[in-house]
Amino acid sequence: SSLMQSNLAPIPELYVSYDSAQKLKVEAAELTSLDLTPRQICDLELLMNGGFNPLKGFLSEEDYNGVVDNMRLSDGTLWPMPITLDVSEKFAESIAVGQDIALRDQEGVILATMTVTDKWEPNKAHEAEKVFGADDLAHPAVNYLHNQAGKIYLGGPVTGIQQPVHYDFRARRDTPNELRAHFRKLGWRKVVAFQTRNPLHRAHQELTFRAAKEAQANLLIHPVVGMTKPGDVDHFTRVRCYEAVLDKYPSATTSMSLLNLAMRMAGPREAVWHGIIRKNHGCTHMIVDRDHAGPGKNSAGEDFYGPYDAQDLFREHQAEIGIEMVDFKHMVYVQERAQYEPADEIADKDDVTILNISGTELRRRLAEGLEIPEWFSFPEVVAELRKTKPPRSKQGFTVFFTGLSGSGKSTIANALMVKLMEMGGRPVTLLDGDIVRKNLSSELGFSKEHRDLNIRRIGYVASEITKNGGIAICAPIAPYTATRRAVREDIEQFGAFLEIHVATSLEECERRDRKGLYKLAREGKIKEFTGISDPYEEPKNPELRVETENVDVDNCAHQVILKLESMGLIAG
Ligand code: PPS
């Protein structure tokens, strides 16, 4: 148990009063305005409501340098994460230092104004090295820094006009002062915060409850719903899961509140940042996980941070943060005693059966619709996860044929469509080259730009079909590797993507010349003809390559069916 108790007095916010806000909003409409990105909106919300206290705005150049190099603002205050307003060079050129700008959300609502005191071009490679540990694009925040963030940073104090609007789970969102008031009202003087971006299972429920009991404190489940690691379970599903788990704690011991934080996955620095944020929200303790806020593997396949780096850095600074670290206890299920126990406290390890299901194994079982035992998770949580992620044989997917004109793409695609319709269960849409060029891309020609646009449109439609649980079969030429990869990325967020190279040789396509186009192309009557006067980049690692010479169409389509079965996409 610890003596740390929270001072639940309100903390400073950056909002002006309601009346001033109405006036400021009208004035701000005249200012040069910046449409914020989703990540900037998350940062702004926590700046304005005091979640990032003591920051008063986006970092100045001097504060930024201090934060990057020593985790400290220029006045010496501990602050581990650069909270910067990145903009394009073009926007930066239109702004003079000293000017006020309006900060808008993505619908154009003015949320705040900012007085620009600083404008500079950061050394991003240096920021990546210092803050994230390596200038390696495998780190999601480093990738964001180089490939999404603008080149120039603006700094300056923010004047808050209104909170960003949320339409989801409104009753579950609290500002730091709302949480402080809540704790005051309940008489909670010690609160353990549990930061999470994952669904909670029984082990989490056990370890969080135990952590609170040991600290003689109450518990706050404080999940991040802003931006988490790409590929995470979406926050809508997670919140429904958290609500189910909340019922499992003894009543009046535990609260839950959603935090609109944009995580950076910065491991040790992120843990310290999370601590400061929880302190601002009125908590006295925080559970720090092994590999807390870890970003996964670097481009050499190794971990970015050591498993205990986050706990070590947190412990070093906890007095200054004003929040006490609670170790994350690894809980495992002991079958003979039908209960969870901390792994390092089991004396009779060799005489009992210890059960555990890893994250990877859980994902496999969900994907294949296999059993998830009750000792592992709560039935309500499993049901939510299954609803969101049905087994692969019930999910949507995209089959993307690519190959030269006349290679047989459309014929095989048609045969495949009919076979899938015979099986039933999911709607099938064929996006054949010719159909698309008639209905979606009728104004386009065959320049590289137009072909890319055509393929991206096909990818967009296929991704929507995949998201909605259907099967999209695409059959364009799609001659460029990079464009095909972009389509793959669009679709893989929602379901499987199978690239199938219809590998009929140019000689054979030209010999068949089913539409008479090759002849015209040779005569120069059709320009930019793929294979003749325009490039075709062969796929290097397609999911499947089909040869059509001496193989009939039915067999080619059957090969695709076998591939789909082997990937679990259709029941065997
Ligand atoms: S692309 O490159 O993926 O956007 O092409 P796609 O939409 O599949 O369109 C290919 C069909 O258009 C006809 N056609 C041409 N193909 C290639 N190059 C040129 N210059 C060209 N002009 C017309 C041709 O019939 C292609 O049909 P398929 O079914 O592939 O034979």
CATH number at residue 152: 3.10.400.10
pLDDT tens per residue, range 428-451: 999 998 889 999 999 999 999 999
Q: Would the CB of 476 count as within 6 Å of ligand 1?
A: yes
Query: Of 388, 412, 435, which residue is a domain's last?
Result: 388
- Residue 12 located in a structural domain: no
Residues 400 and 539 in one domain: yes
Domain assignment present for residue 379? The answer is yes
Phi, psi (deg, nearest 5) at residue 546: -110, 135
338 and 309 in one domain?
A: no
Q: What is the tens place of the pLDDT at every residue in 516-535?
A: 999 999 999 999 999 999 99
Report the pLDDT value the prediction gives residue 58, as an integer from 0 to 100. Answer: 98
Instruction: Tell me how far the alpha carbon of residue 405 lies from the centroid of ligand 1, in angstroms.
Output: 6
pLDDT at 72 over 60: yes
Lowest-pLDDT range of 1-5, 401-405, 491-495: 1-5
Catalytic residue among 196, 260, 504, 548: 196
Within a domain: residue 218?
A: yes
- Is it the case that residue 271 has pLDDT exceeding 70? yes
Q: Is there an atom of ligand 1 within 6 Å of 530 CB? A: yes
342 and 454, same domain (yes or no): no
Residue 218 has pLDDT above 70, yes or no: yes
Burial zone of 242 (CB within 10 Å; 0-12 exposed, 13-18 middle, 19+ buried):
buried
- Model confidence over 308-362: pLDDT tens digits? 999 999 999 999 999 999 988 889 999 999 999 999 999 999 999 999 898 889 9
pLDDT in the model for residue 572: 65
Q: Strand 544-546 and strand 496-502: pairing?
A: parallel
For 284-299, what is each residue's pLDDT tens digit?
999 999 999 999 999 9
State whether 405 and 545 are in the same domain.
yes
Same domain, 549 and 562: yes
Confidence at residue 359, expressed as pLDDT on a 0 to 100 scale: 87
Ligand 1 center to residue 552 CA distance, Å? 23
Does 440 lie in the same domain as 346?
Answer: no
- Establish whether residue 132 lines the binding site of ligand 1, counting it when its CB lies within 6 angstroms of any ligand atom: no
Q: Is 50:13 a contact under the CB 8 Å cutoff?
A: yes
Q: Is the CB of 529 under 6 A from ligand 1?
A: yes
Residue 301: both structure tokens together:
């396949």
Confidence of residue 4 (pLDDT cuts 50, 70, 90): low
Q: pLDDT tens digits for 249-265?
A: 998 999 999 999 999 99
In this structure, the answer to whether residues 144 and 76 fall within a common structural domain is yes
Write down which residue in 134, 160, 186 finishes a domain.
Answer: 160
Does residue 1 register a pLDDT over 80? no
- Is residue 1 in a domain? no
CA atoms of 102 and 115, how far apart (whole Å): 9
Residues 313 and 356 in one domain: no
User: Can you tell me whether residue 454 is helix, strand or coil?
Assistant: helix
Q: State whether 431 and 457 are in the same domain.
A: yes
Q: Is 402 in the pocket of ligand 1 (CB under 6 A)?
A: no
**403 and 551 within one domain:** yes
- Write down the H helix ranges in 187-265: 202-214, 235-246
Residue 431 makes CB contacts below 8 A (sequence gap 6+) with 458, 461, 462, 472, 473, 474, 475, 476
Q: Show which of 372, 388, 404 is a domain's final residue.
A: 388
Share of the chain above pLDDT 90, in %: 93
Kindly list the distances between the CA atom of residue 144 and the CA atoms of 86, 89, 224, 535, in Å, as whole numbers in the listed order: 11, 17, 19, 32
pLDDT of residue 217: 96
Q: Please indicate, yes or no, if residue 304 is contained in any of the structural domains.
A: yes
Tell me, what's the pLDDT at 3? 54
Split into its structural domains, the chain has a count of 4
Tokens of 2: 């610890």
6, part of any domain: no
Indicate if 322 and 345 belong to the same structural domain. no
CATH of the domain at 466: 3.40.50.300
Q: Which residues pair with 473 in a beta bridge?
A: 399, 430
Q: Domain residues for 416?
A: 392-566
Q: Which residues make beta-bridge pairs with 399?
A: 473, 498
For residue 252, what is the domain's CATH number?
3.40.50.620
Would you say 561 and 570 are in contact if contact means Cβ atoms under 8 Å apart?
Answer: yes
Residue 438 lies in a domain: yes
**Residue 197 annotated as catalytic:** yes
Q: Which residue has 């080149």 as its token pair?
A: 151
Ligand 1 centroid–CA 470 distance in Å is: 26
Residue 282 lies in a domain: yes
Pair (89, 69) in one structural domain: yes
Give catalytic status of residue 280 as yes or no: no
Count of CB atoms within 10 A of residue 337's CB?
12
Expressed in angstroms and rounded, the spacing between residue 493 Cα and the centre of ligand 1 is 28
